[in-house]
Structure 1
Amino acid sequence: MNETTVCVVGNVATQPVFRETAAGPSARFRLAVTQRFWDREKNAWRDGHTNFFTVWANRALAANVQASVSLGEPLMVRGRLKVRSEQRDGQSWTGAEIEATAIGHDLARGTAAFRRTLRGDQATDRTADRTADQVSGRSSGALARPEPNWETEPAAPTAEAGEAAEAGQAHEAALQGQEPALAM
C-alpha cells in the first residue's frame, strides 16, 4: 500500500512498443519531462533539466496506448514510480519507471477525440446488432442512445445578422466577379 504515486506531464520521446505477453498486452515508451521556469533577468520562460521516464502500460491501457499514442505527443501520465539501480558492465546505472494507471493527451497543448473501447464479447455482440439494424433499417433502443444537446439553441436572427449576411454575400459575389444577389 505504501507506493509512490506520481503524475507527470511531458512529451513522448520514443515510439511506443507493443507486445502480447502471457500476462496480457504490454506497451512501453519513454517520456521526456522538462522543467520550465520564469527567468526574471531575461523576462522569459526557460527550459531546465529534462527527466526521462520509461512508462509501462498493461492490459487494456496498453492496447489503447498502441491505438492512440505517437512520438512527440504531449501526455499526462499517472502511475506508480519505481526507481531501479543496477550494475551493467562494471558501471552503476539508475533508471526511473512509471507503471501507468492512466494516460491522456495534454489538452492544454492540443485537441483529442475520445473513442470508447468495448470489451471482448460486448464488441462483437454490439457490432452484429448494429449491422443487423442497418440492414433492416430499424434502430435498436439499447444501441441508439440519443446524444445530449450540450449546445445552446441558436439565437433568433436579428436585423444586424441579416445585414451582415447580405454584406457577406455581396462581398463573395464581388470576389467572384458576379453581380451581387438582391435581398428580397
Structure 2
Amino acid sequence: MSETVVTLQGWLGSDVTVRQAGEAQVATFRLASQPRRWSRRTETWVDGETQWYSVSAWRSLGEHAAASLRRGDPVVLHGRLSTRIWVNNAGEEVTSVEVEALLLGHDLARGTSVFTRATRAEAPAPSGDAEPSAAPSEQPAQAVA
C-alpha cells in the first residue's frame, strides 16, 4: 500500500504539547496553511480558505519540536498524510486531516533561526582496557558557504 507524503508550509496554530504514548513520546500541534493565488482580474493576491492540519511528531523529533517551536511560528513540514472520519458529540460526521511529521523546521523564508545540535547519550563502556569515547558536545551547527 502506498503512503501519501506531503510538504506543507504554514503557521503553528497552537503550542506544541508532549505526551507519553506507550514507551515513546509524541508531540502534537495544529498547523494552519492558507493558499494564495494571483488574480489576473484584480491584479492582487487573493487568500484562499485556511486549511487546518493536526500534526504528530514522534520521539526525538517531537522533543525537539516542543523545545524549538511556539504558536505563530512559520514552519515547513514534510510528513505522511492521512484522513480520519469520526462522529462528533452532535452526531455529525467529521473528517480530520492529520500529518505524521517526518521532517520539521522553521520556514527560513520568513525569518531566522538558531540551530543547536542534539547530543547523543553515551554508550556503556565496553569491558576491558579500552577507554570510552566522549559523546559529541552540544554546539551550534556551522554554516556552509
TM over 0.5: yes
> Are the equivalent residues in 1 in contact too, given 2:32–2:52 (CA < 8 A)?
yes
Matched with 1:66 is 66
Which structure dedicates a bigger proportion of its chain to strand? Answer: 2
Q: CA RMSD in A?
A: 2.2
Structure 1 149/54 Cα, relative in aligned 2: closer, same or farther at 3 Å? closer
Structure 1 40/88 Cα, relative in aligned 2: closer, same or farther at 3 Å? same
Question: SS of 2:96's equivalent?
Answer: strand
C-alpha distance in 2 between matches for 1:149 and 1:27: 31
Superposition deviation, residue 25 in structure 1: 1.3
Matched with 1:118 is 119
Amino acid of the residue matched to residue 106 of structure 1?
D
- CA deviation vs aligned residue, 1:40-86 (integer Å, no higher than 9, x gap): 23322121111100010000100100110100011011110010011
Superposition deviation, residue 121 in structure 1: 2.2
C-alpha distance in 1 between matches for 2:143 and 2:34: 39
Matched with 1:104 is 105
**Unaligned runs of at least 5 residues, structure 1:** 131-142, 151-184
**Unaligned runs of at least 5 residues, structure 2:** 124-133
Question: SS of 1:110's equivalent?
Answer: coil
Matched with 1:57 is 57
- CA deviation vs aligned residue, 1:125-184 (integer Å, no higher than 9, x gap): 548xx7xxxxxxxxxxxx9xxx7895xxxxxxxxxxxxxxxxxxxxxxxxxxxxxxxxxx
Larger radius of gyration: 1
- CA deviation vs aligned residue, 1:84-119 (integer Å, no higher than 9, x gap): 011223110110000010001111111111111012
The count of residues paired between Structure 1 and Structure 2 equals 131
Segments of 4+ in structure 1 off by > 6 A?
none
TM-score (norm 1): 0.65
Structure 1 23/46 Cα, relative in aligned 2: closer, same or farther at 3 Å? same
Superposition deviation, residue 120 in structure 1: 2.1
Matched with 1:5 is 5
Matched with 1:162 is none
| 1:44 and 2:27 correspond | no
Amino acid of the residue matched to residue 95 of structure 1?
S
Structure 1 98/40 Cα, relative in aligned 2: closer, same or farther at 3 Å? same
C-alpha distance in 2 between matches for 1:21 and 1:47: 37
C-alpha distance in 2 between matches for 1:85 and 1:33: 21
Which structure dedicates a bigger proportion of its chain to helix? Answer: 1
Question: SS of 1:49's equivalent?
Answer: coil
